[in-house]
Structure 1
Amino acid sequence: MIKRPFRLATTSFIYPDHIIPNVKKIGAFFDEIELLVFESQPQEVIPSRDDVKELTCLAKDLDLTYNVHLPVDISLCAPGPRDRRNAADTLKRVIERFSPGPVTSFTLHLEMDNPLPIKDGIAAWQENARQGLELLIPDLENPAKITVETLGYPPDLFTDLVNEFGLSVCADLGHHIKYGYDMARTFELFGPQIRLIHLHGVNTRLEPPKDHIGLDKMAPDEFERTMNHLKRYTGTVCLEVFKLACLQGSLAALSKNFDDIPGI
């Protein structure tokens, strides 16, 4: 058992309710809450300015910060320039909306078609992503607050983009297990650029593997390997689960390795 070196977070959808009620219920137990803004349409689904004001007040009362998961129904990597422009404009609106609050990072998906495209397709995807980022990043005050999330393709494929635009990384360790990517290599590639970790259980006995479940449901060897990386990590670790039972199981599993893990 060692002292927890990282800040601990979870999502704003532990209870089947809106963001603010979830923050009120769970905020006192965590250092940070991941505000889930998966959709951009209709515009009413994006929290209002008044919502952000209330979230800012709650953050002060509960001694909290937030990270914001940006919408995934748009793509900076879209083949068409109009779609990339729409994605960039939408993301800028969401970032601007939340910027008055105590937000440490904004998590961005650089989506890629699945399965992995051939070599020429990868080069085209990287160029589309570059052009999309060129529409977004110059207008941001602090590009390092954008954390590019590791998804279902090798994280190596966006290394140059992260470095070129001065971005950070969200290392989703559950995705690493689900898709068979090397966690150690990701930590070697990005080091201190990993501003945020998404942590969730994966049942690799199923086909396809089921992710975003409790850490207590993981295979023991995969769980131990993941914990070894967390023992040296000092950023924010977000338990990216969406049910109370999954959160409780994850906290119980973490408490066997680290001090100062809350119980809910």
Structure 2
Amino acid sequence: MTLKSNSTWRLGTTSYIIPDHILPNLYYLQDKVDDVELILFESGEQSSIPDASQVRLMQSLAKDSGLSYTVHLPLDLYPGARDEALRRTCTETWKRIVGLMQPVDPVGWVVHLNDPPRDEDFLPAWQEQCRKSLEELSREVEPGLLCIENLDYDHELIWPWVLEMGFSLCMDLGHLQVRGEDLPACLDRWLDHVRIIHLHALNSEGRDHTGLQHMDRDLLAWLLSSFDSKTRPLVVTLEIFSSKHFQGSLKAIQEARQ
């Protein structure tokens, strides 16, 4: 099933829908979605970081197909680390990957601010370290293209001052649901500042990153209507990781539109 958005927003999904590397996923998805989230990681001997020739192929594919990209910078980095050497490792990795991926002209870069301290006394210092890291990254990327994602902690710890610094938001609706947040209230407050939405459902066991066939149809219809109302650029990424969840999500969107 194919379902491009045909709307004011671009429909996307991840670079891991079929069990293969990033490029085969891009060729599979090029006529099915408007955008692909390139999820990049480096962990031990495992890496999804493309080389320069692969980046050129991504660039060519986007030109030929009309596909756009969002880039998810690696997850296991610590921009708020107390250890300055660890924080610098994070920013140097960010900058290296940004330099590599700039030719694909991403519509947004997704950034995680990991591991806020449980010790509230260190919270201001963690925020300051995160600010410093983001300031360094913003010398390489237009600040409005940097999209700071909500994780498994209270997004109020980051989003107010992130916006003051001129950055954008990546709103992960599944993470908000896991935390029991009020989705309508969150969208009403933050949507004007959101450049990227991560959309996925919770299954009956409360597991997230599952297909939208697990989401209440009325809720999904309301969400789609909310996205339609946004006039600024918006990518809605189905942040799921299998063909089964992908096809189920496309069908659920089609049914919710009826």
TM-score, structure 1 normalization:
0.86
Residue of structure 1 equivalent to 2:134: 133
> Residue by residue, what CA displacement relative to the aligned partner does 1:108-142 show, whole Å, maximum 9, x if unpaired?
001125xx7253243332122123223322x2241
1:32 alignment partner, one of 32, 35, 40: 35
SS for the counterpart of 2:169 is strand
Query: 1:241 maps to which residue?
Result: 240
The alpha-carbon deviation at position 61 of structure 1 amounts to 1.3
Give per-residue Cα distances to partners, 1:207-226, cap 9 Å, x unaligned: xx200001111245654554
State how far apart, in whole Å, the 1-side matches of 2:245 and 2:28 are. Answer: 16
Taking the aligned partners of 1:61 and 1:224, their CA distance within structure 2 comes to 32
- CA 1:231–1:82 in 2, change beyond 3 Å: closer, same or farther? same
Native 8 Å contact 2:217 2:256 kept in 1? no
Q: 1:23 aligns with which of 26, 29, 33?
A: 26
Counterpart of 2:143 in structure 1 is 143
| Alignment partners' CA distance in 1, 2:89 and 2:241 | 29
Q: Secondary structure, in 3 states, of the residue corresponding to 1:100?
A: helix
1:214 and 2:217 correspond? no
Separation in structure 2 between the aligned mates of residue 121 and residue 48 of structure 1, nearest angstrom:
39
1:262 maps to none
| Cα shift readout 1:143-200 (whole Å, capped 9, x = no counterpart) | 1111001111122211233123311110001111111123334334434320010001
CA distance in 2, matches of 1:163, 1:30: 29
State the alpha-carbon separation in 1 of the partners of residues 253 and 48 from structure 2: 33
Secondary structure at 1:212 match in 2: coil
Which sections of structure 2, spanning at least 5 residues, go unmatched?
none
Range moving further from structure 2, 95-104 or 119-128 = 119-128
Summarize the Cα distance change of 1:40–1:68 in structure 2 as closer, same or farther, 3 Å threshold: farther
Q: Output the CA distance in 1 between the equivalents of 2:228 and 2:119.
A: 37
Q: Which sections of structure 1, spanning at least 5 residues, go unmatched?
A: 260-264
Q: Report matched runs for 1:66-85 at 5 Å.
A: 66-85=69-88
Q: 1:12 to 1:121 in 2, by over 3 A?
A: same
What do the CA deviations read for 1:212-248 (whole angstroms, capped 9, x no partner)?
Answer: 0011112456545544533424511010100000001
Q: In 1, Cα distance between the equivalents of 2:237 and 2:69? A: 11
RMSD: 2.3
- Looking at structure 2, the residues matched to 193 and 248 of structure 1 have their Cα atoms a distance apart, in angstroms, of 29
Going from structure 1 to structure 2, the CA distance change for 1:82 and 1:43 (only over 3 Å counts) comes to farther
CA contact (8 A) 1:70 1:107 kept: yes
Q: Where do 4+ consecutive residues of structure 1 move more than 6 Å?
A: none
How far apart, in 2, do the equivalents of 1:157 and 1:92 lie? 24
Counterpart in 1 of 2:93? 90
Identity %: 35
Partner of 1:123: 124
